[in-house]
Amino acid sequence: MEKYTFTYTIYSGGEDTPGDVMTLVKTAAKAREGAYAPYSEFLVGAAIEMKDGTIHTGNNQENAAYPSGLCAERVALFHASAVCGDKKIKRIAIVGGPRDSVESSPAAPCGACRQSILEYEERQGEPIEVVFAGVGLSPIYSVHSVKDLLPFSFGRENLEG
């Protein structure tokens, strides 16, 4: 039997949280405020920090035809890619929770978003740190790479036979 393990960091959202991480989480929380989620009432914001220090945001966008909506993480990723081309991503922060909540559990990216982040990791050839929190911003979870959240991932090498 094999065992899968990974390492993650939990920050309190206070003094133990690195300033650059907290800034990005707060930016994601601000982006969450603009989410369009009239059906689920679950608002998510994402903020992407590029290696050059620029930040790009996104939020979830729902649609009455449910598959037509898009998660905050992918909105931010696709926007950053469209604007920045091949510039590298350092980290992505995600904050999510019910519309009127003042505190919620940390909102990890869904499977489709994990797969999308993986595509960008492989494209740039280096890990993208994934940071996620709930409304209230405590605790904050951080993993070194989306591969930590996506064991047995499907990537480019799978298509090469």
Annotated catalytic residues are 73
> In the Cβ-directed half-sphere of 111, how many Cα atoms lie within 13 Å?
4
- Find, among 68, 65, 24, 66, the residue nearest to 46 by Cα: 24
CB atoms within 10 A of CB 23: 15
- Find, among 98, 108, 88, 96, the residue nearest to 48 by Cα: 88
